Amino acid sequence: MVNQWYKSAVVYGIDVKVFSDSDGDGMGDFQGLISKLDYLSSLGVNCLWLLPFHPSPKIDNGYDVADYYNVDPALGNLGDFVQFIHEADQRGIRVIMDLVINHTSVENSWFKDASATRESRYRDYYIWEDEPKENKEKVMLKGIQESIWEYSEATDSYYLHRYFKDQADLNLANPRVRKEVLKIMDFWLKLGVSGFRIDAAHVVTDPADVDHIDFGNLHTLFDEMRAFLDIRNPNAVLLGEASVGPDELPKYFGNNESGKERIHMLFNFLINKHIMLSFARQEGATVAKGLKLYKDIAQSHWLNFVRHHDELNLELLSDDERMEVWNAFAPEEDMRLFGHGIRRRLPPMLKNNHARIRQIYSLMFSMPGTPLISYGEEIGMGDNLSLEGRESVRTPMQWSPVKGGGFSTADPEDLYRPVIESGDYSTEKINVNDQQNDPSSLLNWFCSLVKVRRQNPVIGMGAWDILNVSDSCAVALIYEMPEATVVVAHNLSPEPVEVSVDTGFLLKSAVEIFSDEKYDKEILFNKLKLNGYGYRWIQVLDKEKITFLNN
């Protein structure tokens, strides 16, 4: 039987380069990560998602891969990686890694060969045109890149790049390229990874506007990847990054024609946007609206997040809705990115309001699916807007109040990326060491949240529904399995409320398992009290179904 471990996991996202530096050269590495596995185990996470760690010029933080079959020498070697996998496994922690298949670095040997001559055996690994059709709408990094085509003098032709010009798009209609993708997967599966996060899956499936290539249905690539995993390691998973609308999402989960499943789970961009909009409006009804957009998608499982390593993407909101979120959380132009995003971490967005910070993570952890914590979120790290673009939210992990934040002993000018040294989010004020010694800290609250979430797998695996609530400021969900029922409710307004929650059953016995404070011992769903920015997770121990008799 296939182990659906990912449905009850808590995922922690790590960029090795900025997590922990073991040798003092200013860059994080695998030995540094190994030294922090006990910390991650104590936090309660049981799956790590690693951002790219391959050899790379790092024009795009490592997403410009130069060699898929190795570790960046600055981070260690393959032996260090295998040791890391072993040490993580000893602590019951699985590892999934980024799989960047939309493009390679122009420093990749495939591209170097392909760009040297039109007769190269790797020429059709990429997409070339002599007279390309420009399409500004397909530029992914608006304001940074102006074109999706770049001239290559050696062969007097242009190559496609949806992102930076240093990242040439692969031709995923080419069977040889698809075989390379499977070879890469096989290599890392043999070293012990438990799955892959497919970077830019929504771009992978978007065909280029060229006449000489028949792209067909690019979603079928995921059929091949899933079939390979089902044979090679049926317990390994595919996690997709696809920021698309509700109508497009089913194509990533399954093949309607064959009935075969494709990607195991997707980043939940839809609910992420609606949670941010709901926080801007301070009402729960917007969360319910977002949930309804995708509730009935078959075979779906979601990875839920508040923030991650990129900009907070608001692309799927309307212009007016996006402006609401911008006005609330990114009022200055410098806080915005690519015409649709926010380049800030959450605490500065919420003005370090701890009640709201805790509530948004309680809400995210209680959404249908699997929760993701991005490194540093558990201590409330801030951002550095003086850094360019997405780098503002990619500062090093803050371990202690010492120089370098405990991340590295290197001189500040030698750090891969500077630590935050001043202000409310400096290493002196925000760090793991201090918060571990403070029972009321955000870190210790996160430990409790993770523990409760893992003790209630019904949230990730059970049937769920949105409950009717008497006040639009609140939102409530129910999760049910034969052996468990959990109801969660959140009040997104600053004022306390008493709401009626229509559960569809008569409550006989229940216990509160997580909340912003201790509420009345007696739990009444028809008179459920919620503090301003309050939340309550309630485990139903005994209930009676309501039966309606016809007159």
Residue 316 phi/psi, 5° resolution? -80, -5
Closest CA to 72 of 18, 143, 123, 10: 18
For 310, what's the count of Cα atoms within 13 Å in the CB-facing half-sphere? Answer: 19
Q: Tell me 174's DSSP state.
A: S
* In contact, 173 and 69? CB cutoff 8 Å: no
Please check whether residue 172 is in contact with residue 208, taking contact to mean a CB–CB distance below 8 angstroms.
no
Helix (H) / strand (E) containing 125: none
Residues in the chain: 551
SS3 352: coil
Q: Which of 64, 166, 241, 310 is catalytic?
A: 241
Please report, as a single letter, which amino acid is at residue 248.
E
- For residue 126, give the DSSP letter: B
Options 199, 310, 311, 378, the catalytic residue? 199
- 241: annotated active-site residue: yes
C-beta neighbour count of 507 within 10 angstroms: 18
Q: Please confirm, yes or no, whether 21 is among the known catalytic residues.
A: no
Contacts of 396 (CB under 8 A, 6+ apart): 18, 19, 28, 405, 407, 408, 415, 416, 417, 418, 419
Residue 220 near residue 256, CB atoms below 8 Å: no
Nearest residue to 297 (alpha-carbon basis) of 329, 322, 268:
268
* Pairwise CA distance, residues 373 & 446, whole Å: 10
In a 10 Å sphere around its CB, with 0-12 CB exposed, 13-18 middle and 19+ buried, how is residue 11 labelled? Answer: buried
**Strand, coil or helix: 166:** coil
Question: Which class for 518: exposed (0-12), middle (13-18), buried (19 or more C-beta within 10 A)?
Answer: exposed
Cα-Cα-Cα-Cα torsion 194, 300, 314, 490, nearest 10 degrees, comes to: -100
Half-sphere exposure of 88 (CA within 13 A, CB side): 27
Is residue 548 a contact partner of residue 513, using CB atoms and an 8 Å limit?
no
Distance between CA atoms of residues 390 and 342, nearest Å: 9
Rounded to whole angstroms, how far apart are CA atoms 292 and 313?
20
Beta bridge partners of 491: 474
CB 317 within 8 A of CB 325: yes
The most distant pair of C-alpha atoms in the chain lies apart, rounded to whole Å, by 85
- List all residues 6 or more positions away from 282 whose beta carbon is below 8 Å from its beta carbon: 473, 492, 493, 494
Residues 6+ apart with CB under 8 A from 136: 146, 147
Residues 6 or more apart from 231 whose CB is under 8 A from it?
Answer: none
Catalytically annotated residues:
199, 241
